[in-house]
Structure 1
Amino acid sequence: MIQRCISLFILIAVLVACKQSLKNESYDLIRLSITDSIKINESNFFISPISQAKFINDSLIVFSSHKSPSGIWIYDFKKNKIINRIVSKEIWDEPIIVSGLIIDNYPTVKILNKTGNVILVINLENNEIIEKIKLDFPIGKTLKPFQSVFFESNNNYIVEQYSSDPTMQYKTAFYKNNSPLGLFDGKGKFVGNTFDFPLPLTHLSKPILPYKHITQSGGLENNLVATPSTGEISKYQNDKWVLYKSMPQKSIFFDFGLNFLENEYNHLTSPSMSELPTSNFFDNIYENEKYIMVSTWIKNLEDLEILDLRTHLFIFDKGKDKWFETASVKNFLTQGILIGVKNDTIYFVEGNSMWRDEKYIKRAVLKPIEE
């Protein structure tokens, strides 16, 4: 018994030491070089400001937008053409606000629709709704409005949830007493909570602005989530969450800490969110056979009157078993959203319309830092 206790103590000490070493570990630098920029042809279909983008296969990308008109667009990037779209009330009298998207079985897609808290199962070959699954959220909970965690596992759905009371979404007590993810069965019945907010959020000393404290992957497997306040990437397997990868905590550009407010945010009386300090967060995660890539969202807090958003990449090279970060930050509005990687070419889409109405596919490669 004593021997077992000693062994357990040693194991805990090793785990703590490893976690502490990651806090002091830094990243090797690598250069991100944009190779070209292709203007998306919107002559047949206009695309709303893009919220999310994912590869479907080697030639197709899906864009989604939660802004009006909300919907999804299927883009053939080899032909530079939008080949299909589903937008709110266009085909059926069905209001849509896209909160999340599952494309694993294309041309069947599943849209997480904030309007009505439902999952729309759609066949894109004929643009017909196959099924509507009403999510039975517990009392006090509702669907996150946009960029929600949403994936399927063993005929269940994992869905990001918010407080149904708008004022509670901004309270520190929300993080302490709630789970960010809910588990629903195939018919939409709530099964239980899954995943906890990370420790830094459950023990807040001051209030913070809520937004993207958990981010889902959109690549090889969509059952990964990352929490920027801890730098931990977790994987859902065998109906439970396990730690998949830990990120070093010493970045040149990204602050893994939290930026606090002096007072609790009030959506009626507080200044606009753009004028308040926001913690850095992960915008997207992508994994393939060679890499795990994490794109960042970094707000310049030196002058909050100017919306200065920056981004860079964290890259885990599986072959080298090493973490890198890109050697410079870019303007988030012009570089755009990370889509993923094809044949060592990294794809982004610029399409939020805060910079310009046109949308562009940006392609880039990684290069070593020249000595």
Structure 2
Amino acid sequence: MNARDGVNVGVTTLVVAGVLVASFLRTGWGKDPSAASTPLPTPPAASVPPGAGSTPSTALRLVGGSIDPATVPVRSVDQALFVAEVIGGEGSGLLVVDAATGEWARSDLVSTMDGPLLLSPDGRSLVRAVWSPSSGEVGVETVELGTGTVHQVAVPEPPDCSVDAVAWAPDGRHLGVVSVCATPNVYPKDPKDPTYATVVQEVELATGRTFDIERVPGRTPSETYPSYSPDGRLFAYGISGGTEFEDGESWGAVRVTPVHGGDAHDWDDVHLVYGDPWRDATTLLVWDELADVLGPDSHALLDTTTSTRSPYGIDQLTNLDGFVAGTLLAEQADPCPVTLCSVDLSTGAVAPWLTLPTGMQVVSVSAARSLLAD
């Protein structure tokens, strides 16, 4: 269990209790509270070819050094290479790297999110799952980065199901949606718990067509953090399972399923790192729940080709924020006394990557995959 798991476990408990809570619970997107919402989804602009506009070395230069968000100009940005939600001081909000200029800016989008940022592969849109108090349901929305325009995405879920989490497909034209299902079992003299299931669907933004990837009976999303592999062939997410304790709690598991047919595989007692967990098209980085959280084996690499699991970690390094342009981002005062540091996976070397004023921290980061090729 890591430093953020207290929040994650709370969300999972609410879902199991039947109160369906999404990754993002509150509204708040847009340039203005009265910003219009369009009922039909529209696809993002055409994807930029991998590597166009930036390279891994350029990305590293962009986020290096010390930044004071209070002095960064607030302006509209149509396309971003990198987005970070920052809290804890003046200038809190959405920090972005403008794809057109390579400069930092504070987005004029207003966000009060309770979940990770999810930037589209082309850097032009964000996506979220959002709870609607009026309908009592969870929906999916995309938001144009430059205008704040919200597009509702219809997800034709099975009965008794509700959206839990969402992810961009690498093509930027599809979304992967993970839902939790709880079908009531009511008997006059013997009421039982609901029958649970996890459903994974893919939605095409331009047409609204939905493709069912899989249904997993008897299990619920847990520490979900869904994501596609870079080539779009695999879909990974967190699900219940793993070692179970006397109180009924368990560490959970990571499940990887082929998007277009094939056998899924589960790894027990692990959960996905935050941000982009894919080292490459077949290898995932995860937390090892059974290892020392601050030890050198705190994480593991999962090989989806061989179904093997190899220990991987940096001593004293916790809260990994995923891969950006082939570099792993992490946050920990020791051995890297800055806001974000980079980790060289080959050598294990840790170096400063981003420094913010004392008291400020990065809640989540997301990169435009199509613009920052490895």
- TM-score normalised according to structure 2 size: 0.48
- TM-score normalised according to structure 1 size: 0.49
Higher radius of gyration, 1 or 2: 1
- Higher helix proportion: 1
